[in-house]
Amino acid sequence: MPVRINSIFMHKFYTHKSIALALALVASAGVLSAKAVYIEQDGVRYYWNNTKTNVEVTTPAKGTTYVGDITIPATITYEEKELSVTAVRSSAFSENTYLTSVTLPESVTSIGDYAFDSCEGIKKVTMPGVKTIGHWAFRNCYELETLDFSDKLESIGNYCFDKILKITSITLPETTTNLGGYVFEGNPQITTVTCKAVTPPAVKRGYLDGEEIYTIFDDNDYGDRVLFVPEESINAYKSALGWHHFGANIKAIGSSSIAETLADNGFFTVKALGAAAVEVSTTEATVVKVVNMNGQLVKSLTVTPGTTVITDLPAGILVVNGVKVAVRK
């Protein structure tokens, strides 16, 4: 017996099928039209997915490099389109020894993994809008002199600031929520950390000799380092993983650290200069003694008020009248 098919049903079936097919073709066309475009303007190279309205700073073209002071604009124009600059891609500036500073616009909100890794000559990176910084992003930036985070910063990756040997203090904004493991490893010269976040930022887990460890420095021994936090949050930081290692050295923001007290008493401040030298600033004549971590006297001299450069020092961690500094050859 012949099977009769309802014509209305068939009409609906083919209509719906046609619509679905049309939508699939449109979606497929959209995917196929997307492509990566590399744009170079004013000496900076950008990555652009041509279906989007933003670009990201990327590595220079093969055979070229970034040199000197680089300023990244908030927008660029390409093929009559205005494109916002929103990120620094992974390894964009890595292992560049010719770079001295990078100024990012507020539109840049993320810095990728290894972005400035081993930029050994860079002195300053301005990042007013950055919210996230990737793993190892500033490792081995030995000459970095200032580290000013955006007041929008949320997270920093693992080992991010390993061996930034000229930075002696860190200030994290109140928006900070996550820190990578060992984020400030290799920096014995860092003596103070200020974290303005009321809730202690979560510190990622790491491992030391096969054991779990939560730390922002090399291990669980934070020595004489001082942590400044909101007064109402002191107890929270004392019990928070990764922060609890500061122990009794957790103080309210606004109180004095050891180094500040010495300076207020007319003693001195010390700054590592690299090239086996330190700079001592004093307000009165005083005897300065430099010892190594074994307590052996390296150098002793009397300095006059003002600034004195002490040279010919051995590389390593030295203590100058009680202040630790990292000296490099």
pLDDT grade, residue 9 (50/70/90)? very low
What percent of the chain has pLDDT above 90?
57
Nearest alpha-carbon partner for 272 in 162, 142, 161, 166 = 166
pLDDT grade, residue 260 (50/70/90)? very low
pLDDT grade, residue 7 (50/70/90)? very low
Evaluate if residue 264 carries a pLDDT over 80: no
pLDDT at residue number 83: 97
Cβ(302)–Cβ(321) below 8 Å: no
Mode of pairing for the β-strands spanning 36-41 and 44-49: antiparallel
Task: Give the sign of the dihedral formed by CA 195, CA 198, CA 204, CA 208.
Answer: positive
Q: What is the pLDDT of residues 194-213, one digit of tens each?
A: 999 999 999 998 776 777 88
Query: May I ask the CATH architecture of the domain 38-167?
Result: Alpha-Beta Horseshoe (3.80)
Q: Give the phi and the psi of residue 41 in degrees, each rounded to 5.
A: -140, 130
Evaluate if residue 3 carries a pLDDT over 90: no
Evaluate if residue 272 carries a pLDDT over 80: no
> Mean pLDDT, to the nearest integer, of 237-242?
96
- Domain covering 268-327, topology: Immunoglobulin-like (2.60.40)
pLDDT grade, residue 263 (50/70/90)? very low
> Mean pLDDT, to the nearest integer, of 160-181?
95
> Mean pLDDT, to the nearest integer, of 302-312?
89
Q: Give the phi and the psi of residue 120 in degrees, each rounded to 5.
A: -70, -15
Instruction: Return the amino acid letter for 93.
Output: F
Mean pLDDT computed over every residue of the chain? 85
pLDDT at residue number 125: 96
Token representation of residue 36: 């990566």
Evaluate if residue 51 carries a pLDDT over 90: yes
Selected residue with higher pLDDT from 7 and 270: 270
pLDDT at residue number 329: 58
Least confident of 146-150, 209-213, 299-303: 209-213
Q: Rounded to an integer, what distance in angstroms lies between the CA atom of residue 272 and that of residue 325?
A: 6
Contacts of 147 (CB under 8 A, 6+ apart): 161, 164, 167, 170
pTM, to two decimals: 0.71
For 309-313, the CB contacts below 8 A with 24+ separation are 309/273, 309/277, 309/278, 309/279, 309/280, 310/277, 310/278, 310/279, 310/280, 311/275, 311/276, 311/277, 312/276, 312/277, 313/276, 313/277, 313/278
Distances (CA, A) of 180 to 193, 202, 242: 15, 8, 10
pLDDT grade, residue 285 (50/70/90)? confident
Q: Give the phi and the psi of residue 126 in degrees, each rounded to 5.
A: -95, 125
Q: Rounded to an integer, what distance in angstroms lies between the CA atom of residue 294 and that of residue 277?
A: 19
Least confident of 27-36, 73-82, 90-99, 242-251: 27-36
Evaluate if residue 193 carries a pLDDT over 80: yes
pLDDT grade, residue 268 (50/70/90)? low
Q: What is the pLDDT of residues 21-39, one digit of tens each?
A: 544 444 444 444 689 999 9
Question: Domain spans of the chain?
Answer: 38-167, 168-174+187-255, 268-327
pLDDT at residue number 73: 98
Least confident of 47-51, 281-285, 319-323: 319-323
Q: Rounded to an integer, what distance in angstroms lies between the CA atom of residue 58 and that of residue 48?
A: 10
pLDDT grade, residue 159 (50/70/90)? very high
> Mean pLDDT, to the nearest integer, of 90-102?
97
